[in-house]
């Protein structure tokens, strides 16, 4: 688990030289400081190494577009990277002081392997994977950055392992979880009806009067499956569509269309999709294992992020160089916000535009 978030690469969303000087105070968390020069070297590594840049940007939501003047990236990126730097330092400190975590070489080696695995998985999940390997991306990091990432990974793994609210990702634990959630992994057969929005009232009235799923599909559905009574197929845990089918049918009784459809675009027009479960069959653990693992990873990540917010809120003293961003309480907890720009009525729209991309002229 990457610093109590899903993946390391989310941390590397990018940053900027916006407003930084050699005397900038950097980032301080519980006495540990990231100097502005260190911050700059990380930005330089990301922007000048194609493999690292790929692994960083493929999951990043902050822009890596070049800034103006002496800036390499946008101000929102500075805040994003500063935010994850803060989180990493806070968790490292908590693991060391509260959990008495002092990793040896073997633990750090395991953390490195975990980090590489997460990076590789992130790349593999993309339609266009990175051309280089995760090991190359790690090698392209400055030494301090690489050491920090591995140490943070180790601290996060230790913290997650010690949370009462997480489930160990072992076969034994997964089987135990599966045994009490078997219905979540049923193979689900479904029928569908794609209905014109103008026919929704008639569709629901016909169902309330006793028309069957097959009859409704034949009468109202525009999908080719209508000729077969809407029969669409069966989806087990190994299917890429399983999660969506499970969610769509979770609260719907067998052989019934839900009263509230999903809005979709069908043949370039708006339409309503109804999905009815027609059969549920228990799936053996061996076939459901990948879905169980995914669910537990998600649940563990949620629990870990809750713990992360608690650490940031109650156990951390944080100071951020104003050029990096502003520390405050957001909708999802404490976080770094992009540096505030002055009003365009005060300095003009052109100045605001330059500030937005990090123009060194406007320090």
pLDDT tens-digit profile of 301-320? 888 888 888 888 888 888 88
Tokens of 359: 């123009």
Q: Which class is domain 187-281?
A: alpha beta
Residue 341 has a pLDDT of 54
- What is the per-residue pLDDT for 338? 72
Query: With contact defined as beta carbons under 8 Å apart, do 2 and 112 qualify?
Result: no
CA atoms of 261 and 273, how far apart (whole Å): 5
The Cα 85–Cα 90 span in angstroms is: 9
Residue by residue, DSSP assigns 61-80 as -S-----STT--S-HHHHHH
> Would you state the pLDDT for residue 279?
95
Residue 231 has pLDDT above 70, yes or no: yes
Average pLDDT on 5-32 reads: 49
Q: What is the mean pLDDT of residues 185-198?
A: 94
Element (H, E) at 285: helix 285-314
pLDDT at 102: 95
Q: Compare 11 and 337 and report the one with higher pLDDT.
A: 337
Separation of first and last alpha carbons in the chain: 37
CATH 3.10.50.40 range(s) for the chain read: 187-281
Tell me how far apart the alpha carbons of residues 149 and 8 are, in angstroms, rounded to a whole number: 8
Q: Is the pLDDT of residue 23 over 60?
A: no
pLDDT of residue 74: 61
100-109 average pLDDT score: 95
pLDDT at 357 exceeding the cut of 60: no
**pLDDT (0 to 100) of residue 309:** 86
Give the pLDDT band of residue 343 (cuts 50, 70, 90).
low
SS3 label, residue 52: helix
7, pLDDT greater than 50? no
Of 3, 286, 236, the C-alpha closest to 118 is 3
- What phi and psi, each to the nearest 5 degrees, are found at residue 186? -60, 145
Question: From CA 287, how far away is CA 236, in angstroms rounded?
Answer: 8
Closest CA to 85 of 36, 140, 138, 22: 36
In residues, how long is the chain?
Answer: 363
Residues 6+ apart with CB under 8 A from 317: 28, 29, 30, 31
* Section 10-24 average pLDDT: 35
Q: Residue 60 and residue 127: Cα distance in Å, rounded?
A: 15
Cβ atoms < 10 Å from Cβ of 121: 13
Max avg pLDDT among 183-187, 263-267, 293-297, 349-353: 183-187
Do 27 and 319 meet the contact criterion of CB atoms below 8 Å apart? yes
Query: What is the maximum alpha-carbon separation in the chain?
Result: 76
Spatial CA neighbour of 103 closest among 141, 159, 35: 159
CA distances from 93 to 12, 77, 132, 315, 325 (A): 20, 24, 33, 9, 22
Listed in sequence order, the DSSP H helices in 58-191 are: 75-97, 105-124, 134-139, 143-162, 171-179
pLDDT (tens digit per residue) in 250-297:
889 999 999 888 898 888 889 999 999 999 999 999 999 989 988 888
Phi/psi for 273 (5° steps) reads -105, 125
Q: Which of 154-168, 234-248, 322-336 bottoms out in mean pLDDT, i.e. has the lowest? A: 322-336
């Amino acid at each position: 688990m990457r610093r109590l978030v899903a993946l390391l690469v989310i941390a590397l969303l990018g940053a900027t030289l916006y407003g930084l000087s050699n005397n900038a105070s950097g980032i301080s968390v519980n006495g540990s400081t990231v100097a502005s020069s260190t911050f700059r070297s990380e930005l330089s590594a990301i922007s000048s190494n194609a493999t690292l840049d790929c692994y960083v940007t493929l999951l990043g939501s902050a822009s890596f577009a070049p800034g103006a003047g002496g800036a390499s990236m946008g101000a929102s990126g500075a805040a994003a990277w500063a935010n994850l730097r803060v989180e990493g330092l806070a968790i490292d400190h908590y693991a060391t002081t509260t959990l008495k975590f002092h990793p040896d070489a073997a633990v750090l080696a395991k953390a490195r392997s975990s980090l590489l695995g997460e990076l590789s998985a992130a790349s593999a999940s993309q339609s266009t994977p990175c051309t280089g390997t995760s090991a190359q991306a790690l090698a392209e990091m400055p030494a301090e950055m690489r050491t920090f990432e591995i140490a943070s990974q180790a601290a996060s793994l230790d913290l997650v392992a010690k949370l009462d609210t997480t489930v160990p990702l072992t076969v034994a634990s997964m089987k135990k979880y599966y045994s009490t959630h078997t219905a979540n992994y049923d193979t689900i057969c479904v029928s569908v009806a794609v209905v014109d929005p103008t026919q929704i009232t008639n569709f629901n009235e016909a169902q309330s009067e006793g028309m069957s799923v097959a009859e409704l599909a034949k009468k109202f559905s525009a999908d080719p499956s209508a000729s077969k009574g809407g029969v669409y197929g069966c989806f087990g845990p190994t299917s890429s569509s399983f999660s969506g089918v499970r969610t769509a049918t979770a609260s719907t009784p067998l052989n019934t269309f839900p009263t509230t459809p999903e809005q979709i675009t069908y043949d370039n027009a708006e339409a309503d999709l109804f999905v009815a479960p027609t059969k549920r069959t228990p799936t053996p653990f061996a076939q459901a294992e990948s879905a169980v693992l995914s669910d537990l990873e998600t649940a563990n990540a949620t629990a870990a992020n809750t713990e992360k917010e608690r650490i940031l809120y109650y156990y951390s003293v944080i100071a951020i160089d104003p050029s990096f961003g502003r520390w405050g309480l957001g909708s999802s907890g404490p976080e770094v916000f992009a540096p505030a720009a002055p009003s365009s009525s005060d300095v003009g729209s052109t100045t605001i535009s330059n500030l937005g991309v990090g123009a060194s002229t406007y320090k």
